[in-house]
Structure 1
Amino acid sequence: MDNLKEQLAEIRGLLQIDPDNADLTNLAVDLETLIALQDQRLADPDNATRRHDPGAELGSTGSSAFEDNTIDLTQNPNEFDLKEGGKCCIPFIVASATYFLPAMVLRLDRESEEATVLILTPLTRESRPCDWFLDGRCNADICGRSHGITMSLEHLLPTEVLNQGSIKEGAKVLARYRDGIYYRASVVAMDGPDGPFWVNYEGYGDEKTKLNADQLVPISGLGVEDDLENSGENGSEEEFESDEWTSDTYEDDDDNEDGPSEETRVTFHYGDGEAMGTWEAHTKGIGGKLLAKMGYRIGKGLGKEGEGRLRPIEAEVLPAGKGLGVVAERLQRKRKRPREPGEAKGRHKRKHKGNRDAKSGQEPGQQTPPADVFDFLNTSLNQKSTKSSAYISKPEPPTRAKPPDRHKLHVDLINVETKVSQLVTALSRAKEALARNKGDPKIAASYRVKIHELEGTLRSVQQSEAAIQRRLNTEKQKKNMINF
């Protein structure tokens, strides 16, 4: 109640700045009506009864679609008795509007003035009642559906607020869809005063759906007209096409036995009856759900004008490491020559090259005469030795000395350089200490001895560093000499 009064005060302050704003004026009237109804209900706390002012309107928006949503209980007085298991009406905020929805009281706490209710006409996926919870079988810590919401008792309203009798041809209603969620729709025809009714979901063309009276709820609330105008201009982004998608395992939310939080699977079919995306049977079906949520229409292409692709791109598996432009047929290796009949599969046997030239493979007598002096010298030097020289043992090449490990030399050089740096630092500190203690002969003498030792050690380490550096330079020069 305090929140409503604060909101009313803010709106009145805005009206003082802009008194010609019709939206603020209508919203202020709605809030005043709601506060008056709350005051009347709280006037008799023993029976928790509530009597309504004649001609009071909830969710009045100034249009003919909501003129019948008035609550006049002067002729038919009803007491609003709150009890567990009973029905009531609660405010539910969606976007910038507050809708009045029927709900069932699960728990009632008079001391804390709170109640846990379950929405019977959910507008979102999160507010859908969990069937397994109602049966006492849902033990899931995180369930995709609602186990009830807790709110203050002052926010609960009687079901007469909805005025179910106002449903007629041309009225704006909330209509139940196959997924159990209620979407905005318009009543386009009636088969009788009590139904069934033919409705047209907003944003989905002229398609009609036949529903019973218990599947429709009159639209009533605060700021619902602005929400309806915005939805009429921009179209609905959350509604599904009623006759353009089917569910593999879906008949109704009430008969769904797949699990407490099991989502329905959405599949599409082409015009010839062929199923689209058959691979989704092995997945969670998120692709079909996204297509349906984005308003995909069967038989129409993708894009705003429906001129895009009709069928999905088939995936082509290529060999690993190859680009997308590689043709699989070109990847097969072809033999350089056809295999002769009777030829064994495998490696070719090596042929004896005893009497053939090492370079040309021709017989010695078939060699062409050298073209110049250099060819003559090369031919003479490359000729094989005679058979008698084959038995002459060749001297073994001398064993080369193992070159020093350059990596080890670099490591030693780094260690020596680190030690030099440490000695230089220690020597500098010792000289500073000697300068501070010149007045004390004993301390000064000890520091002089320490400085002498550090200087000797430093000279020795620097000599080792120079020796390692010379070895590295020598190895580098040798490497440069043999590289051309």
Structure 2
Amino acid sequence: MEDLTLSISQYEDQLSVVKQALQATQEIGERESLLALQSELQELINLTRESLDVQNNREDDRNPGNDATNTNGLDDEYALFMKEMAETGAYEENKDSQDKPENSGQNESTDSNSDIEDELSSLLGMKCAVYHTHTWGGKPSLHNAMVSSVVPRQDDDQFNDLQVKVLFTHPTHAEMLPCPFYLNGDCKFSDDQCRYSHGAVVKLSDLKEAIEPNYNSVKIGSRILLKLKPPDDEDMSTAKKSTEKYHLWHIAIVKGVDIEKKSCVVKLEHGVKTGEKRKTMSDEHHVMFEEIFPLSIDGDEDTDSDDSLSDTEYPESKTMRVDCDNKALIIEKSLQNNAPAMGGWERYTRGMGSKIMLSMGYVPGTGLGAASDGRLQPVEARSVQPGRSLDHCMELSEKNAGKDPLKVEQKLKKLQKREEERNKRAYEREKEREKRNVFNFLNNTLGDKPEKTEQLITATSVEIKQSTSKDLNIEKFKLEEDCRKIENEILKLQSTLPKYPQGTSGHRSISIQIAEKNKDLNLMRNKEKQIVKEQKQRKDTQKMTVF
């Protein structure tokens, strides 16, 4: 013990020296090493103190043990004395008194178990709130319930292992409705096979405080739980399929409130069928406050509790209330986000999708969802190679991280590039064929150039509409090449024009050539615009047809 105490004092001295060094040091690297040393010394001091406490407890346990051995020795001598007295007949041995010391340990454990059972039995009838998950799935929802029984515990059970059975006080579905035959001990079905509930088994540590109804929050538009009134001639002694709607609580919306009379007019969210004629009951009901149970209110600023009785709302995923701080945080996220602009398809819809999202409160630049942290980019489609394993496809994706060959978009880009190269080669072949044509050579050499150029370039809208998409692509490529050549020729002529004085024949000839080239260029550009317009119209028609 003295060694441990001395070690603790030494460690504390070292810790104080490290703290002084931290105050005097400004370099980042040295401060990090000193902080690590400080945390290690603090942890070492804590471990040493724990060891010291353990030794102190052991010594405390040894002293009562000595007294107990002395007491046990006196008891043994007393028992031996009484046994000898019984043998001589001076004292009649009491068998019960002999058995009592032997069973004292068992009695102590039995007493402790009985105390725990008594404490658990005091929970019977206690109101509480538990989470319930419906049989069809979904997220758990909070419901009021009552403890009906305690699941028998085992000897080695801890507190977290203790379980109880609860019955729901406001059942909204048949699976939550308590089985009347089970309560009377006459149910022939097991817990899993019965249509109704034999009690939900929950851990004792999962029980929450019962949610009290807040009638002050009832207003028009509030959601409540309502129990329907059965007809006078209906037998309501036991729950059955035809009458279970009168035992369940249904969700309704408040349409009118009378504060003075403490009554309200409510309308069921879902129509309830009556029995024989299958007619829908009246959706609106006039009820008193005592006959309803208010559900949570999303917009109530005075409500501080996050837990609320509702079969449609989940505390884990409730929409957070956006206040000034949250708005500032969202704006900061949008400024820090370097993701590409969302929705490249907006150019086809004139931005209607973005306008609708902005009217719903979306902040540009942030993610989707209530917390503005959802993904913006769609999941990229991937085309797996046939006959190849998934491992092989994953290796290809990892090798070509920038240009993944499995992405459908990459394949479409490759096909588009291949089509452009094919069109370019076709144009060059056709151009070479035209050069070798004798008649074209004679027309270009001997014919009237302005009229010939005008005849070649001018194309009516009927001819463009009758051409195929492939021909339009080729013609567009030709026009782009010809426009580029004419522009180069115009630049050369304009650079040559200043060499000749104004009024000379050379100046007039070059000016006429420049005017003709500009005229040809305008005709080509007009034709190119017509082709682009026709291509766009065809694409839009195709997209509308697919949609």
TM-score, normalized by the shorter chain, greater than 0.5: no
TM-score (norm 1): 0.26
Instruction: Indicate the structure with greater helix content.
Output: 2
Q: Say which structure, 1 or 2, has more relative contact order (CA 8 Å, 6+ apart).
A: 1
TM-score (norm 2): 0.24
